[in-house]
Amino acid sequence: MTELRDLITNGQLRRITRWGEPVMHAPTRPVTDFDDDLATLLRDMFATMAAAEGVGLAAPQVGDDRALFVYHCPDADDKIHTGVMINPVVTLPDGRDRNLESEDEGCLSLPGAYSPLARPDHAVCRGLDHNGDPVEIVGTGLLARCLQHETDHLSGVVFGDRLSDRSRRRLYGDHEALAYRYPDDWPVTPKGEFDPTR
């Protein structure tokens, strides 16, 4: 049995895939093997997420088509939650219990760009942990958004798909304006500050 703390150290950085690459827009496949290869992927994902200063990272974002994500994210009370979610299913409130919160959302696979997006402020995510044991996490605040965002990735959905055409064009424009800061293999090569156009 692998401990979570053993997965959040000693990983290797991987290139973060970008919107437009096929793996980002295709459904993932369920995880059935809880082996050393999976543990290596999870270690690398934690390392990559930390280097990119993200709060969540789905397997397609490192070019892998398995249905899983990692997270290190605060909830509405600023409590940090860290974990692995494999083959996840998100349940969202409906009716009177459904409260939409519009906040800026970004994606490590479209670095530098943010757009307001309304999502439910509460989410329950159920799946398996890194050992294949059932796990459930209740998300509020940013964690609720993270759980929805990362689970979307596993269905081939990026948050830009949920925006209006106008908002999506603005989002892409913001990304293009800052693209020079993000090398193609980022975060293997760190983000730069130098503007080559000046």
pLDDT given for residue 1 in this prediction: 84
pTM of the model: 0.95
pLDDT given for residue 148 in this prediction: 98
pLDDT tens per residue, range 113-153: 999 999 999 999 999 999 999 999 999 999 999 999 999 99
Environment class of 63 (CB within 10 Å of its CB; exposed 0-12, middle 13-18, buried 19+): middle
Instruction: Compute the 3-state secondary structure of the chain and give helix, strand, coil in percent, each to the nearest 5.
Output: 30, 25, 40
For the chain, give the secondary structure using H, E and C: CCCHHHCCCCCCCCCCCCCCCHHHHCCCECCCCCCHHHHHHHHHHHHHHHHCCCCEEEHHHHCCCECEEEEEEECCCCCEEEEEEEEEEEECCCHHHCCEEEEEEECCCCCCCEEEEEEECEEEEEEECCCCCEEEEEEEHHHHHHHHHHHHHCCCCCHHHHCCHHHHHHHHHHHHHHHHHCCCCCCCCCCCCCCCCC
Is CATH 3.90.45.10 the right assignment for the domain spanning 4-181? yes
Residue stretches of the chain with pLDDT short of 70: 193-198
Task: State the pairing for strand pair 68-74/80-91.
Answer: antiparallel
pLDDT given for residue 192 in this prediction: 87
**Lookup: tokens for 135:** 């796990």
Q: Which residues are catalytic?
A: 150
pLDDT given for residue 196 in this prediction: 56
* Residues linked to residue 81 through DSSP beta bridges, in sequence order: 73
State the Cα–Cα distance between residues 110 and 160, nearest whole angstrom: 10
Cβ-contact 88, 95 below 8 angstroms: no
DSSP reduced 3-state for 37? helix
Cβ-contact 105, 142 below 8 angstroms: no
